[in-house]
């Protein structure tokens, strides 16, 4: 049989033209859809039945510079959701959990939030891990009427209803309080007069470093700088910080103390540059180092610097951190910690309890509202977080269901503390001053209870209104400062 020739094809467009036209069309559609999500046009909506299914999404740093926090914080969220589902769920339905990784990048966090809203149709978002990522998630959640609760974003920028629209809360305290504690400790306890501050260039780093400088001056100290900026702003993820250290420390008069706001990778590099720089900058040896909670990590910061191959003398290191980070916790934390260890075979990590509490608050708000929408959560989050009401502790979901069913008010007392939230979405906390002992292990040097922290606020309070409820953990000392070493 003679092989037949295939029919001639119609003339094709120029090479690649059809393919590129298709790609362009698809790209335009994607851009339009993303714009709709970011602009709030796809606020979660659907069949009435969906209003009784609470869908929670997470935007956490599973990879990137904050992976040491985000990956572990996700375990705490999963633990809370599992407990709630095993005890009856929310409105009789199990909570579906959808997780997104922001790779510690703001652009990725924004896309992750949009994906959770447009594809998973979540009612609430837990996250992000870092304030730089939270800063881009907040407007996406707000514009789409999705309520966001962060367990670790502490920047003061979020205490702003113009930014959040009331669609935001956090179970970790804002940096305003930490800055006040750091400044008071440096000026009053250490009786130092001159200070400098260094912060990585994101909302957390620059914000906290600036607040420290403002409060140090408010307490009568002097911020030393030759720069137009009062804070030495350094590049997050830089390869060398020597020039930045020189800008902050090589001034006249020289600072007696420097407050450093960073994460472990940047803090480690900065300290390597600091130690190396002492050879040509002998005055650096006289500068006291005070760190934020961003580097308060034994294995990922203190051990790396104190052990081989670095073998640095870290005996003078001190820093600030919320009380829970220093082990100053509520009376039921030990039971929660035991449950966490039993489930994961690991001890809780920084912000784990805060993220666990974020999931519980969202679930309680939806249960009390009788609806699992973002609006319902927004309208009820403060009622379940604050007094008055029956105290519901971590893990007591069945008790919460009974109290809400009986029409009684509830007041959640979390794994991380009281978790009382003011109208800005901020929670309160006491703080510790941490240092290191003779074996280079972190220890508490001072305790600043909530009552002392709030007494040190500027008048009038800038982010802690008079209507905020102040509660102290049962184990915080009523004394102004308590020695622990």
Residue pair 370/404 in contact by the 8 Å Cβ criterion: no
The residue among 186 and 419 whose pLDDT is bigger is: 186
- Give residue 166's Cα distance to chain centre: 17
Q: Residue 225's pLDDT band (boundaries 50, 70, 90)?
A: confident
SS3 category, 14: coil
Q: Residue 227's pLDDT band (boundaries 50, 70, 90)?
A: low
Among 255-264, 323-332, 474-483, the minimum mean pLDDT is found in 474-483
CB atoms closer than 10 angstroms to residue 237: 14
- Please check whether residues 375 and 346 belong to one and the same domain: yes
Q: What is the chain's mean pLDDT, rounded?
A: 85
pLDDT digits (tens, 9 = 90+) for 189-198: 999 999 999 9
User: In the predicted model, is pLDDT for residue 465 greater than 60?
Assistant: no
Residue 197 lies in a domain: yes
**Going by C-beta distance under 8 Å and a sequence separation of 6 or more, which residues neighbour residue 467?**
422, 423
Q: Could you tell me the CA-to-CA distances from 149 to 168, 351, 421, 446 in Å, in that order?
A: 6, 13, 11, 29
User: In the predicted model, is pLDDT for residue 372 greater than 60?
Assistant: yes
- Please check whether residues 372 and 310 belong to one and the same domain: no
Q: CA–CA separation, 330 vs 414, rounded Å?
A: 9
Residue 14 lies in a domain: no
Residue pair 69/128 in contact by the 8 Å Cβ criterion: no
Q: Residue 50's pLDDT band (boundaries 50, 70, 90)?
A: low
Residue pair 369/380 in contact by the 8 Å Cβ criterion: yes
Choose the final residue of a domain: 262, 282, 316: 316
Q: According to the model, what pLDDT value does residue 15 have?
A: 36
Q: What total of structural domains would you count in the chain?
A: 2
Q: Could you tell me the CA-to-CA distances from 332 to 75, 338, 418, 475 in Å, in that order?
A: 19, 10, 11, 11
Provide the token pair at 375: 């609006």
B/e letters for 87-121, b = 16+ CB within 10 Å, e = fewer, are eebbbebebebbbbbbbbbbebbbbbbbbbbbebb
Residue among 428, 194, 396, 202 nearest 294 (CA): 202
Q: According to the model, what pLDDT value does residue 229 have?
A: 64
The average pLDDT across 174-180 equals: 93
Residue 463 lies in a domain: no
Residue 23 lies in a domain: no
pLDDT digits (tens, 9 = 90+) for 9-41: 333 333 343 433 343 333 433 443 344 444 444
Q: CA–CA separation, 479 vs 15, rounded Å?
A: 79
Provide the token pair at 459: 């008048």
Choose the final residue of a domain: 268, 284, 316: 316
pLDDT digits (tens, 9 = 90+) for 421-445: 998 999 888 899 999 999 999 999 9
pLDDT digits (tens, 9 = 90+) for 112-150: 999 999 999 999 999 999 999 999 999 999 999 999 999
**What DSSP string describes 367-398?**
HHHT--SHHHHHHHHHHHHSSSSEEEETT-HH
**Going by C-beta distance under 8 Å and a sequence separation of 6 or more, which residues neighbour residue 178?**
154, 208, 292, 293, 320, 321, 322, 431
- Please check whether residues 183 and 164 belong to one and the same domain: no
Residue 213 lies in a domain: yes
CB atoms closer than 10 angstroms to residue 475: 15
Provide the token pair at 449: 């209870």
Provide the token pair at 290: 């005070």
- Please check whether residues 368 and 394 belong to one and the same domain: yes
Q: CA–CA separation, 138 vs 158, rounded Å?
A: 9
- Please check whether residues 166 and 206 belong to one and the same domain: no
CB atoms closer than 10 angstroms to residue 306: 19
User: In the predicted model, is pLDDT for residue 228 greater than 70?
Assistant: no
Residue 271 CB-density burial (10 A; 0-12 exposed, 13-18 middle, 19+ buried): buried
The average pLDDT across 86-99 equals: 98
SS3 category, 17: helix
Q: Residue 479's pLDDT band (boundaries 50, 70, 90)?
A: very low
User: In the predicted model, is pLDDT for residue 48 greater than 70?
Assistant: no
pLDDT digits (tens, 9 = 90+) for 376-419: 999 999 999 999 999 999 999 999 999 999 999 999 999 988 88
- Please check whether residues 226 and 281 belong to one and the same domain: yes
Among 93-107, 221-235, 352-366, the minimum mean pLDDT is found in 221-235
Q: CA–CA separation, 169 vs 459, rounded Å?
A: 23
- Give residue 449's Cα distance to chain centre: 21
Among 48-57, 66-75, 346-355, the minimum mean pLDDT is found in 48-57
**Going by C-beta distance under 8 Å and a sequence separation of 6 or more, which residues neighbour residue 366?**
54, 90, 91, 123, 372, 376, 377, 380
- Please check whether residues 303 and 389 belong to one and the same domain: no
Beta strands in 311-357 (DSSP E): 318-322
The average pLDDT across 456-473 equals: 44
- Please check whether residues 206 and 231 belong to one and the same domain: yes
User: In the predicted model, is pLDDT for residue 165 greater than 80?
Assistant: yes
- Please check whether residues 199 and 291 belong to one and the same domain: yes
Residue 485 lies in a domain: no
Q: CA–CA separation, 61 vs 53, rounded Å?
A: 26
Choose the final residue of a domain: 286, 316, 346: 316
- Please check whether residues 290 and 183 belong to one and the same domain: yes
**What DSSP string describes 54-110?**
--EEEEE-SSSTTHHHHHHHHHHHHHHHHHHHHTT-BTTBPPPEEEEE-TT-HHHHH
Residue 126 lies in a domain: yes
- Please check whether residues 214 and 280 belong to one and the same domain: yes
Pairing of strands 318-322, 410-413: unpaired
Whether the CA torsion 199, 203, 209, 214 is positive or negative: it is positive
The average pLDDT across 201-209 equals: 90
Q: Residue 332's pLDDT band (boundaries 50, 70, 90)?
A: confident
Q: According to the model, what pLDDT value does residue 483 have?
A: 23
Domain that holds residue 424: 48-172+330-431
Residue pair 104/67 in contact by the 8 Å Cβ criterion: yes
Provide the token pair at 334: 């030990």
CATH number, domain of 281, equals 3.40.50.2300
- Please check whether residues 156 and 181 belong to one and the same domain: no
Residue 56 lies in a domain: yes
Q: CA–CA separation, 159 vs 462, rounded Å?
A: 9
């Amino acid at each position: 049989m003679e092989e037949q020739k295939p029919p001639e094809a119609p003339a094709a467009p120029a090479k690649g033209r059809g393919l590129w036209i298709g790609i362009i069309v698809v790209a335009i559609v994607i851009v339009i859809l993303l714009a709709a999500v970011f602009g709030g046009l796809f606020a979660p909506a659907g069949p009435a039945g969906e209003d009784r299914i609470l869908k929670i999404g997470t935007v956490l740093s599973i990879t990137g510079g904050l992976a040491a926090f985000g990956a572990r914080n996700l375990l705490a969220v999963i633990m809370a959701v599992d407990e709630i589902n095993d005890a009856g769920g929310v409105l009789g339905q199990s909570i579906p959990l959808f997780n997104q990784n922001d790779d510690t990048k703001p652009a990725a966090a924004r896309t992750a939030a949009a994906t959770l809203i447009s594809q998973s149709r979540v009612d609430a978002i837990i996250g992000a891990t870092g304030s730089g990522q939270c800063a881009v998630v907040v407007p996406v959640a707000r514009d789409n009427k999705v309520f966001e609760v962060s367990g670790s974003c502490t920047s003061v920028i979020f205490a702003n209803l113009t930014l959040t629209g009331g669609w935001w809360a956090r179970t970790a305290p804002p940096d305003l309080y930490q800055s006040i504690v750091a400044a008071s400790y440096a000026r009053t306890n250490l009786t130092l007069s001159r200070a400098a501050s260094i912060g990585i260039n994101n909302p957390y780093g620059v914000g906290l470093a600036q607040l420290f400088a403002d409060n140090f001056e408010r307490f009568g100290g002097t911020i030393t700088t030759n720069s137009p900026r009062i804070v030495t702003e350094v590049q997050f993820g830089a390869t060398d910080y020597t020039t930045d250290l020189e800008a902050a420390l090589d001034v006249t008069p020289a600072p007696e103390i420097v407050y450093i706001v960073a994460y472990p990778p940047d803090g480690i590099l900065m300290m390597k540059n600091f130690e190396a720089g002492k050879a040509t900058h002998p005055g650096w040896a006289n500068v006291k180092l005070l760190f934020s909670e961003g580097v308060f990590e034994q294995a990922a910061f203190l051990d790396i610097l104190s052990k081989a191959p670095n073998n640095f003398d870290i005996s003078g290191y001190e820093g600030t951190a919320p009380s829970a980070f220093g082990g100053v916790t509520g009376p039921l934390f030990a039971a929660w910690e035991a449950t966490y260890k039993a489930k994961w075979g690991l001890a809780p990590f920084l912000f784990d309890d805060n993220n666990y509490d974020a999931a519980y608050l969202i679930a309680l708000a939806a249960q009390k509202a009788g609806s699992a929408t973002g609006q319902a959560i927004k309208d009820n989050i403060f009622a379940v977080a604050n007094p008055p009401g029956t105290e519901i502790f971590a893990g007591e979901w069945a008790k919460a269901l009974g109290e809400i069913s009986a029409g009684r008010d509830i007041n959640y007392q979390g794994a991380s503390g009281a978790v009382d939230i003011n109208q800005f979405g901020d929670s309160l906390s006491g703080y510790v001053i941490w240092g290191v002992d003779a074996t280079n292990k972190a220890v508490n040097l001072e305790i600043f209870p909530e009552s002392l922290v709030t007494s040190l606020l500027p008048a009038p309070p800038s982010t802690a209104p008079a209507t905020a409820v102040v509660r102290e953990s049962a184990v915080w000392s009523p004394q102004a400062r308590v020695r622990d070493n």
